[in-house]
Amino acid sequence: MYRIRIVGLGPGPLEQMTMAAWHAITQAAVLVLRTERHPCIEQLRPHLSAGATMQTCDDLYEARTRFEEVYAAIVERLIALAQMHGEIVYAVPGHPCVGERTTALLQQRSVEAGVEVEIVAGLSFMEPVFAAVGVDPMDGGQVIDAMILARQHHPMIDVNLPLVLGQLYARWLASDVKLTLLNAYPEEHVVTVVQAAGTAQQRLISLPLAELDQGEHFDHLTSLYVPPLPPHSSFTALQELVAHLRAPEGCPWDREQTLASLRSDLLDECAELLEAIDAEAFVDDNSAAICEELGDVLLSATMMTQIATEEGRFRMADVVQGVVTKLIRRHPHVFGDLAVSGVEHVLTNWDAIKAQEKTEKGVQPDPLDGVAPALPALEKARKLQSKAAKAGLLDRAALAQANPALVALLGDAPDERKVGQILWELTALANLHGVNAEDALRSFVVMMRKRLALQK
């Protein structure tokens, strides 16, 4: 039976190596290093057994451009060496199972190659990094590879918990990491670059996030510590608060709410959000109000989801998974190989995918569906006209010319103010005759919906 012993070198100097790792390396006949760039390698050389051979895989990094190709080549080299010598020791920085992609690949490949794989533990980079910044990882510490986070558009982490990024080895990578983190943290948020943690050369550099990529302090021993934002800054904090309010020791009012009882609150919060957005037509920046109203809408959605969770209907994970899956499915031009010519093509394809989804659910697609009954009457009219026109059931241009008096009143190039003025005056005229304009238009839209359905 062929055998590969994967040994963790630890994060730095020789004294941080475990006794098991020391014995495995110093007794090895064939020692393979993933990389020679490690603080303890020169210290190790005099202690290797007589006649032992040592080689590195650094040449594979130089010969290939993609890490996955490098890792695959390393695995094949290790398998071949094990089959040639019977047993080899493969030494990697830190712990073999922490941030070491070749370990997972080797474990997968070894089964079909008939090679036994043994893990010899070592101290990972995490312990000295957390120690250097004075944080106990048991307090919710999050650890992620810098390359993984750099590929994200929004960091998939909890901003209320401490975060460590490992293997921040290059300035360009720090730049990509910075851009991702700025989607969740403010520019002035102070982060700490940790160099050579746990060694005599350890160095901590604290700087604003916006300046992360300005220095040259990046190499294979560099990590990044991102402290948490102030309390109550994450979505999980909101979920915890809402669950607390609904708990037996929570608020009596919140505990008695139902999905139905919160309906009017949600409508009110949405209306206030729209009002805050519309107010930007009159003020330079209404961000504070929009931020507050978005929070109220988010609270309503979170409270409703918590109620559903307690009733055993669904959880927030189901809500999020559902909408994420739907967005991916409806954007094949982003997440698939579909090519689109522009926005109109995107919208046409969107409608086709929605129709297909309904068919798969056993529902006959209706081109007039999707106009929510609770919408304001004017928006219901606009959406129904749009859908009917797309389905070939309505000629909007002809409809717009149907009332010569209105056409003359609006003129050739009416602006928002002119249209708004006429709607305002029509509302007053309807009121003069004892008619609620909102109710009148809503009833007419319902009637037109039935008439258009018959045309189908």
b/e sequence 62-71, b meaning 16+ C-beta within 10 Å: eeeeeeeebb
Q: Residue 350 has what pLDDT? A: 85
Q: Which fold has domain 2-124?
A: Cobalt-precorrin-4 Transmethylase; domain 1 (3.40.1010)
The matching CATH number, chosen from 3.40.50.11540, 3.90.170.10, 3.30.950.10, 3.90.1300.10, for 127-226 is: 3.30.950.10
Q: What is the pTM of this model?
A: 0.83
Task: Determine the pLDDT at residue 393.
Answer: 86
Rounded to 5°, angle at Cα 213 from 208 and 216:
115
User: How far is residue 268's CA from residue 276's CA, in Å, rounded to a whole number?
Assistant: 12
Residue by residue, pLDDT tens for the chain (456 residues) are 899 999 999 998 899 999 999 999 999 999 999 999 998 999 999 999 999 999 999 999 999 989 999 999 999 999 999 999 999 999 999 999 999 999 999 999 999 999 999 999 999 999 999 999 999 999 999 999 999 999 999 999 999 999 999 999 999 999 999 999 999 999 999 999 999 999 999 999 999 999 999 988 899 999 999 999 999 999 999 999 999 999 999 999 999 999 999 998 998 999 999 999 999 988 889 999 999 999 999 999 999 999 999 999 999 999 999 999 999 999 999 999 899 889 989 988 888 888 788 778 877 777 778 788 878 899 999 998 888 888 888 888 888 888 888 888 888 778 888 889 989 999 999 999 999 999 999 999 899 888 888 876
Quick one: pLDDT at residue 361?
A: 81
Token pair, residue 185, equals 């943290």
What is 235-329's CATH number, 1.10.287.1080, 3.40.50.11780, 3.20.20.80, 2.60.40.1120?
1.10.287.1080
Place of tokens 């893990």: 119
192, β-bridge pairs: 206, 225
Q: Which residues contact 319 (CB under 8 A, 6 or more apart)?
A: 305
Sequence letter at residue 363: V
Cβ neighbour number for residue 439 with a 10 Å cutoff: 11
Instruction: Report the C-alpha gap between 167 and 93 in whole angstroms.
Output: 11
Both ends of the chain: CA-CA distance in Å? 73
What token pair was written down for 408?
A: 């003359």
- Residue-range domain boundaries for the chain: 2-124, 127-226, 235-329, 366-455
- What the block records as the tokens of 282 is 């009159």
**pLDDT of amino acid 184:** 98
Query: For every residue of the chain, which 3-state class applies, written as one string?
Result: CEEEEEEECECCCHHHCCHHHHHHHHCCCEEEECCCCCCCHHHHHHHCCCCCEEEECHHHHHHCCCHHHHHHHHHHHHHHHHHHHCEEEEEECECCCCCCHHHHHHHHHHHHHCEEEEEECCCCCHHHHHHHHCCCHHHCCEEEEHHHHHCCCCCCCCCCCCEEEECCCCHHHHHHHHHHHCCCCCCCCEEEEEECCCCCCCEEEEEEHHHHHHCCCCCCCEEEEECCCCCCCCHHHHHHHHHHHHCCCCCHHHHCCCCCCCHHHHHHHHHHHHHHHHHHHCCCCCHHHHHHHHHHHHHHHHHHHHHHHHCCCCCHHHHHHHHHHHHHHCCHHHHCCCCCCCHHHHHHHHHHHHHHHHHHCCCCCCCCCCCCCCCCHHHHHHHHHHHHHHCCCCCHHHHHCCCHHHHHHHCCCCCHHHHHHHHHHHHHHHHHCCCCHHHHHHHHHHHHHHHHHHHC
